[in-house]
Amino acid sequence: YTFFPGTPIWPANRRDLTYGFLPANGLTDEVKAVFTRAFEKWSAVTPLTFTQTDSFSSADIKIAFYSGDHGDGEPFDGVLGTLAHAFSPTNGRFHLDQDENWVVSGDVTRSDLPSSVDLESVAVHEIGHLLGLGHSSVEDAIMYPTISARTKKVELATDDIEGIQLLYGSNPNYNGSTTTSNTQERETNDGEA
């Protein structure tokens, strides 16, 4: 695990965070539920809580899908390539590439669409950035920078948990049992597991 320079975190008086969705995206409840599941991965191991709000402007974490240049100096590039990015605490901006073929449910590893990307996998990774984690070189870790198409990877690895608990401490109910490194992969190009 790594942290951003200066180790920015959410301050002690802002540990119950809200998240909202850009209204213009018109996301369905099914899509929003993917993010709820992703936030739960991190709240399970930390004292942080995450609550959805209908007020995008006042949300601590602002989730939005954009295409191409969307004004933050980090334009998206169409199908595959860059999938999403997120800012360090306490900025809260979480942007995803609208042009990706996002899979919301079902077994992405069995998709017939070669460019399918699992939304929950990317969401869990980007939330790590929003909370203060940088990229990790541990391949099983959620915070590893790359993810192949048609791959699902949503469980926090020991590396992720150690990093986030250094920043915020542990959830009092966390007993270590959620630590897994199960990674389901189906590579599109080279067939590696």
Partner 1 sequence: RFFPNITAIPPWHLPNTTSIAPWDAFTKFAGCQSGEVRDGLSKLKQYFSNFGYIPNSPSNFSDKFDDELEKALKTYQQNFNLNVTGQLDDKTLQQIVRPRCGNADIVNGTNSMNSGKSSSFHTTGHFHTTAH
Residues that bind partner 1 (CB under 8 A): 1-5, 7, 28, 30-31, 74, 76-86, 98-108, 110-117, 119, 122, 125-126, 129, 134-139, 145-149, 159, 162-163, 166, 189-190
Q: Which is nearer to partner 1, 23 or 106 (CB)?
A: 106
Q: Residue 104: which residues within 8 A CB-CB, separation 6 or more?
A: 30, 31, 34, 119
- In the annotation, is 187 catalytic? no
Q: For the CB of residue 12, give the shortest distance to partner 1 in the complex, in Å.
A: 15
Specify the 3-state DSSP secondary structure of 108: helix
Min separation Cβ 148 and partner 1, Å: 6
Least CB distance from residue 1 to partner 1, whole Å? 6
Beta bridge partners of 97: 66
Residue 105 or 182 with smaller CB distance to partner 1: 105
Nearer to partner 1, 53 or 158 (CB): 158
Nearer to partner 1 (CB atom), residue 47 or residue 49:
47
In whole angstroms, how close is the CB of 80 to partner 1 at the nearest point? Answer: 4
Cα 49 to chain centroid, rounded: 15
The rounded distance, in Å, linking the Cα atoms of 151 and 182 is 12
Distance CA 128, CA 156 (A): 10
The token pair that represents 15 in the structure block: 């540990």
Residue of 126, 139, 187, 192 with catalytic role: 126
Nearer to partner 1, 58 or 180 (CB): 180
Nearest alpha carbon to residue 129 among 183, 91, 78 = 91
| Least distance from partner 1 to the Cβ atom of residue 26, Å | 11
Contact (CB, 8 A) for 165 and 45: yes
- Spatial separation of the C-alpha atoms in residues 23 and 155, rounded to whole Å: 29
Establish how many alpha carbons lie within 13 A of residue 160's alpha carbon, considering only the half-sphere containing its beta carbon.
Answer: 30
User: Would you please indicate which residues are annotated as catalytic (active-site) residues?
Assistant: 126
